[in-house]
Structure 1
Amino acid sequence: MAVTADLQKVLDKAYQDKTLEEILNAPVEALAGVSESGGKLIRDALGVKTIGELGRNKYFRAAQALAALADAS
């Protein structure tokens, strides 16, 4: 199943041409809107260094699941 995404909206320009593996291994600051200081706060608070770690983080997954439940009701 093919999946497409507009990476211009979610990634900084320097990461838009990277492979999925490279994106998942990129620092959280590679996400559009996450500053260097914001990335440091995420690392310090949660120990999350990469986009992949952020996406797999149990707190973010729990929050996303709760929000999806609320949206569905």
Structure 2
Amino acid sequence: MPVTANLVKLVDKEYQDKSVAELVDAPVSALAGVSERTATHLKEALGIKTIGELGRSQYFRTARALVDLADHGA
């Protein structure tokens, strides 16, 4: 089943017509609100260069899991 999503508020204008597969290979700075400077810091500190690497990062996944557990009273 095809999935559609409105990415207008999630990514910068130049990336809004890209597929999700293309977005995971895009630089982190393609995310709305993420500056080139922030992207550089992520690359230097954690080696994260793309949206896919950010989403798959063990640090961010662990943080997300802990927040979910805290929010649901675990």
TM-score, normalised to structure 1's length?
0.92
Unaligned stretches of 5+ in structure 1? none
What percent identity do the matched residue pairs reach?
59
The alpha-carbon deviation at position 20 of structure 1 amounts to 1.3
TM-score, normalised to structure 2's length?
0.91
- Paired with 2:42 and 2:33, the residues of 1 have a C-alpha distance of 13
Question: What is the correspondence of 1:1-73 to structure 2 with a 5 Å cutoff?
Answer: 1-73=1-73
- Paired with 1:5 and 1:61, the residues of 2 have a C-alpha distance of 22
The alpha-carbon deviation at position 50 of structure 1 amounts to 0.3
- Paired with 2:66 and 2:35, the residues of 1 have a C-alpha distance of 26
String of CA shifts for 1:3-37, please: whole Å, max 9, x gaps: 44331111001111101111000000000000011
Matched length: 73
Residue identity in the other structure for 2:70: A
The alpha-carbon deviation at position 2 of structure 1 amounts to 4.8
- Paired with 1:70 and 1:6, the residues of 2 have a C-alpha distance of 29
| Greater fraction helix | 1
- Supply the RMSD in Å over aligned alpha carbons: 1.2
Unaligned stretches of 5+ in structure 2? none
